[in-house]
Structures are given as C-alpha cells and as structure tokens.
Amino acid sequence: MLPALLLLLGAAVLRGADTLPDQNLLLLPPVNLTIVVAGLARALLRWAPHPDQVRQNVTVDYHVRIHGPQEDEYETRSTVSTCVAPLHQGLSASVRAIVRDHGRLQAASRWVSAELEPPPGPPGTAAVNLTCTTNTAAGDGTHAARYQVSLHCAWRAGEAAPADTQYFLYYRFGAETHECREYSRDSLQRNIACWFPRTSIHSKRRDRLAVLVNGSSRLTAIRPLDRLFALHAIDQVNPPRNVTAEVQGARLSIEWQKPVSAFPSHCFDYEVQISDTGKAYVQTEKRTVNAFTSVIDNSSRYCVQARATVSTTCRAAGLWSSWSPPFCLGSDAQKPSSKQLLMALPAAVCFALLVCSLVCRGCHLWTRLFPPVPTPSSNLGDLLAMSYEKAGSQDTETVVISYVDEPAAETLEHTEF
C-alpha cells in the first residue's frame, strides 16, 4: 500500500512541475504589428507570434499599451484587438508577449511598436469646439420604438479653413454609422450644426457615441475632427411631467410624474422648488420619489417647480433637466401686502398731483383763482399820459396831466377845470 501512495505522489509532483513556467523561458516579441482604421474613431491592431518562438507548455498572453491620443493598457490572448479612440491626431501602440502564473508576471518579451499617422490637412483647418447633446422623446407607442433619442451637434469652422470649406458630420453608436442630413449654416454657407431627429442611440446602453466632422475644399485638404462622448455627460434629461400641488389647511402636497425617458421611475433623483411669492422666499428640497409635502402659511400664494436627473444607481452622474413650468396656487395675489401699499401710495399721490396740474393749466384755473397783482412802472418818464373820466350832470370833463423831465427840476403843467 505504501509503495502505491509514493508512486501517486511522485506522479502528481511531476505533473505540477510540467505546468510551471520554465525559469529560463525566453519569450520572443510579436511580429508584423499593424494599425489600420476600422471605422469612425475605431482602429484595428493586428500582430503575430514570433515564428521562432519555442513552443512550451505555457499560455502566452499579450500586453497592449496605447500611447496616444489617450493612454490605455490591457491584456488579451488574441492577436487582434480593437481600439476605440479619436484618430484625428493619429494613434501609437505597443505590444509584448507575457506569461503569468496565478496573476504574477513570470516572463515578458521586449515591446514592439507601431503608429497610425494623422489624416492629411494643414493645422487649423479642422472644425473646432465640437459639442453634442441628446434628448429622449416619446416614440410611436410600440414596444420596439417606445422612446426615440435625438441628437444635436454644433461646431465652428477652423481659423485656417478656406472660405469655400464645407463640413460634414457622421456619428457611430455601436456598429451603426449615420450621416447628417439636416444642417445649419453660417454667413459663408458653411455647415456649423447638425440635427438628427431620430437616431440609433439607446440611452440605457453604456456605449460611447463617436462623432466625426470632416471637410472638403478646392484649395487644400481639410483635417477631420472626431470625438467620443459618454451618453450620461451629454444627455439632456426632460423635466418631470404633470407637476401639481394642493393645499389642505397648512399642508402643501406636491406630486409629479417621471420624465419622458427609457429609464424606469426608480432611476431618478428630483429637486422641488417652492416659492412664496408674497415673502420672496424660496425653499428647495431633494427627493428620490415623485411626491413631497410641506407645512406652509395658507394665506400666501405659492409656485412649485421640479427638475430631475438620472440617479447614479442606474448610470454615471449626468446633467439636471430644466425646471418644469411653475404651478401656482393660493390667494396672495389678491391681497397686497403693507409693503406693496407703502410703495404704491407715493406713486399714486404724485400721479394725482400731476393730473390736477395739467387740468388747471388747461382750464386757466390758476389765473382765475389767483389773478396777477399790478406793479407800478419803475420809470415815470415812460408814463406819457393818464386820463380819467369825471362824471357830471350832463358832460364829461377830461383832465390831462403831463409830466416832463427837466435837467434841473421837474415842472408840472396843468389846465384849469
């Protein structure tokens, strides 16, 4: 019995030794590494094992390192690898062969490298400031098209682009690539924005959106521009629907429905804003459910609004929606406050005085109520004659008094009655 156990133990040790990598194992680097464009913002890397590599009882993996435009590294057992990255600045990568034992690196070859040259075109001719947003709308009601995602992108023409440059936009999501059909143009009739009312984008998937803007000109080559967008970073969430409020005594109850979105109800966070219009007071609350109750002064007028964002439990943090239209209730609008009355009283008094002044001026009431007081002349020499009538029994006698200025003295001449 004991000899048999020793034989079995020895066989097991020999089998284990055969599976261990040779400490003197020499790994040769891969050969024929190439990088080619395989689609919009997608490159294909290919290589082959070294033909002189000695076959041993080990598993050879490959360590891939992307140097630019975005650094990345990973391991694979295949000799073909797809790299998703912007390619308008070219791409460089390196590959080496490795052997691991229980996660620990046991042997590695030297690196081999290759480069993908940037597309042709002078600097400054490519489009700049490329931005994109997505939005979800209700579909045709069928289960397959319950929601429809639109896409809007905008950019500016490059500073060195000739005046006859024309730009064109393409997007890729998953395996599907589409060309824009609806453009907006600048004053030189160059395309500077694109609108896709319907796309193949699925907002719940984690694929990145690839967008390419290339161009053409009769004078020079136009360098393309491509970018990758994470959907959560560009998705413009719709505001909550059917926001309603009700006052019961001193309690304000607010309810709403989830936004139009492919995400279910539990995937949203909300903010509720309550505005007291009479006191210029705003209260903001965060909620994970579509209802909220607050204690209020029921003699005031209130307006409520809500906005939403997709929760981090369902995808990475993204944008908040715009606020929903305000829903107002209460009677404070018919009860002006004392502050409003104090502000309105001086204005009313000034307006009444202005009206009275205009009426009096138009009807000459000031002249009738306050006639002007006559004043004597300051120069007696300007008074040439003064006459008055003396009433008699039958005739009227006239007396004329004349004043003559003399250098030495003043003489008064008169006639007798």
Q: What is the pLDDT of residues 27-75, one digit of tens each?
A: 899 999 999 999 999 999 999 999 988 777 788 999 999 998 889 999 9
Q: b or e along 130-151 (b: 16 or more beta carbons within 10 Å of the residue's beta carbon)?
A: bebebbbeebeeeeeeeebbbb
In whole angstroms, give the CA distance from residue 169 to residue 191: 9
Residue 353: CB atoms within 10 A of its CB come to: 10
Alpha-carbon dihedral sign for residues 317, 321, 327, 332? positive
At 370 the pLDDT is 55
Q: Are residues 230 and 132 in the same domain?
A: yes
Residues 102 and 136 in one domain: no
> Which whole number is the average pLDDT over 356-380?
58
Sign of CA dihedral 226, 230, 231, 236: negative
Residues 6+ apart with CB under 8 A from 245: 252, 253, 254, 255, 302, 304, 327, 329
With respect to residue 410, please indicate whether it lies within any of the assigned structural domains: no
Residues 278 and 316 in one domain: yes
Same domain, 63 and 161: no
Rounded Cα–Cα distance for residues 417 and 414 (Å): 9
> 289 and 261: one domain?
yes
* Mean pLDDT of all residues in 105-132: 94
Residue 287, in any domain of the structure: yes
What pLDDT is attached to residue 117? 94
- Residue 264 belongs to a domain: yes
Residue with the larger pLDDT of the pair 160 and 359:
160
Do 100 and 178 belong together in one domain? no
Q: Do 110 and 179 reside in the same domain of the chain? A: no
Q: Is residue 51 part of a domain?
A: yes
pLDDT given for residue 354 in this prediction: 76
The CA angle 133-135-136, to the nearest 5 degrees, is: 160
How far does CA 263 lie from the centroid of its chain?
A: 21
Q: Tell me the percentage of the chain whose pLDDT exceeds 70.
A: 75
For the segment 204-216, the average pLDDT, to the nearest whole number, is: 95
Last residue of a domain, one of 305, 331, 357: 331
Do 135 and 228 lie in one domain? The reply is yes
Assigned domain for 300 exists: yes
Is residue 211 domain-shared with residue 276, that is, in the same domain? no
Domain end among 212, 234, 256: 234
Q: Which domain holds residue 259?
A: 241-331
pTM for the complete prediction?
0.70
> Does 11 map to a domain?
no
Q: Let me know if residue 13 belongs to a domain.
A: no
Q: Residue 300: which CATH number?
A: 2.60.40.10
Q: pLDDT at position 373, please?
A: 55
Number of domains in the chain: 3
| All residues at 6 or more sequence positions from 386 whose CB lies less than 8 Å from its CB, including other chains | 401
Q: Do 247 and 304 fall into the same domain?
A: yes
Does residue 370 form part of some domain?
no
CB 127 within 8 A of CB 170: no
Backbone φ, ψ for residue 8 (5° rounding): -65, -40
